[in-house]
Amino acid sequence: MSEPSRLLLKLGQRLFVNEAEWIAFCDCLIHPQPLYPCILWRDTKPDDSPFALEPALFWQPEFIDRLALGQQPGKHPWHDRGAFYCLDFSSVFAISPLLQLSPPVECIIDVCAAPGGKSIFAWRVLHPHLLLSNEVIGKRTGALISNLKRCHISPSVVLSMDSKILAQEIPNTAQVVLVDAPCSGQSLIAKGGKAPGCFHPVTIKNNANRQKRILANSAQLVAGQGYLLYMTCTYSPEENEQVAEWFLERFPHFQAVAVPHLSDYQSYLTRLPAYRLFPQSGLGAGAFTILLQNTLDEPARNLPPDFLERRRGQKL
């Protein structure tokens, strides 16, 4: 992209009141800059890192390292042994509300799990007795299975089920449910990738409708007093704040939960405690996140005894 399209300019002006901010935002998409590599250590990280590191943010968990530009952790032999997982710091930002929850938890369900980074983060933080990593798109399950196996994430099971079927078969079973929702993928451009049509209103509307369906189904998986974490890697308010507001109107027994360590990233597009990372921050390509809690007191249900046997999941 050599210059901002009309739709990109319009989006930038909606997202930022300050002209300098929306110009900087658009420039990051027109001229993508290298992003700092980031790794998640599966176990205690070594005292002497094999990589050059960037300074840690005050809220950054000890098992996350931001690496200096030019580092190639994926080529290090420890990667193949599963010592760490490579991810964008935007993903760390989006999943970081889990840091304020208390481990261990009985069950975590990651509804849109591939390629697996957020499942691994949740496993690392909350030590679940069972992690169900679900990916409905068949061609993406291979990478999910490979990453969870490589990093020795256990006990975990990979599923490939539509969120509606999950809600019907195992309602109210999870203390934590993750929804990294399929979206228009606008932040891919900040990584130097392509996302054709990602700023078009029809693309955005179709994605927002899909997100609402997945989120509504996922809400039924959350046990009383449990949490639902909604995330995207896109910028459009229709796929972020507006989906969250729609959800809370539809499911009034959920409430949005403040995440103090992200207070500097509060979205001013909503009164809800919802948080945004933009590419001009220099931390990552961008993300949206909001933590929601089921306020009902009903106890969690057990998984049906034959559920895992009936489903063609891959036990790890």
* Other Cβ atoms closer than 10 A to 86: 16
Rounded to the nearest 10 degrees, how much is the dihedral formed by the CA atoms of 186, 187, 189, 195?
A: -40
Closest by CA to 289, choosing from 251, 252, 261, is 261
Please check whether residue 291 is in contact with residue 254, taking contact to mean a CB–CB distance below 8 angstroms.
no
Query: Which residue type sits at 190?
Result: A
- Which residue is associated with the tokens 């990667």? 79
- Which residue is associated with the tokens 């993508």? 32
Q: Report residue 289 CA to chain centroid gap.
A: 7
* Other Cβ atoms closer than 10 A to 216: 16
- φ, ψ for residue 242 (rounded to 5)? -70, -30
Distance CA 237, CA 253 (A): 23
Query: Which residue type sits at 121?
Result: F
- Which residue is associated with the tokens 């309602």? 171
Q: Please return the burial class of 277, using the count of CB atoms within 10 Å of its CB with bins 0-12, 13-18 and 19+.
A: buried
Active site residues: 233
